[in-house]
Amino acid sequence: MNPLPWLRHQARRLKRPTPTTTRHPDPTPYDPSQRAVANELARVYAGRWLVMWGVASRRYWAAPCWPDAPSGWLDAPTVEALQAAMVEVEIQSIRHPAGTWRAA
């Protein structure tokens, strides 16, 4: 028995989208005010930080992007807390040159 026709049928069946997976029921973005704040923060820190709002985590997230930046992500429940953490990482990276930075 040749399994190839059955496999082709399965592949076609799996590729066919269903109406429930092609569209989100509500096209409006989640948390528009938090996203706007994250976008503004990303604009202010452009080139140094990647800033995002986590819809599932309900937290602000930031990752440093400058050369020889420490790796990892910062997260905080408020913009003020995130900015304070970002400033602390920038200060630490100035105190400890590239390759010598260590998390506290």
The pLDDT tens digits for 27-68 are 566 788 999 999 999 999 998 999 999 988 999 999 999 888
Indicate the residue type of 78: T
Q: Count structural domains, the chain.
A: 1
DSSP state letter for 96: S
Residue 15's pLDDT band (cuts 50, 70, 90): low
Instruction: Please indicate, yes or no, if residue 22 is contained in any of the structural domains.
Output: no
Instruction: Please indicate, yes or no, if residue 15 is contained in any of the structural domains.
Output: no
Angstrom distances, CA of residue 41 to CA of 11, 18, 66: 45, 38, 16
The rounded percent of the chain whose pLDDT value lies above 90 is 43
Q: Is 49 exposed, middle or buried (0-12, 13-18, 19+ CB in 10 A)?
A: buried
Instruction: Please indicate, yes or no, if residue 90 is contained in any of the structural domains.
Output: yes
Instruction: Please indicate, yes or no, if residue 23 is contained in any of the structural domains.
Output: no
Instruction: Please indicate, yes or no, if residue 78 is contained in any of the structural domains.
Output: yes
Instruction: Please indicate, yes or no, if residue 4 is contained in any of the structural domains.
Output: no
Instruction: Please indicate, yes or no, if residue 64 is contained in any of the structural domains.
Output: yes
Instruction: Please indicate, yes or no, if residue 66 is contained in any of the structural domains.
Output: yes
| Residues of the domain holding 94 | 29-99
Which secondary-structure segment (H or E) carries 84? helix 79-95
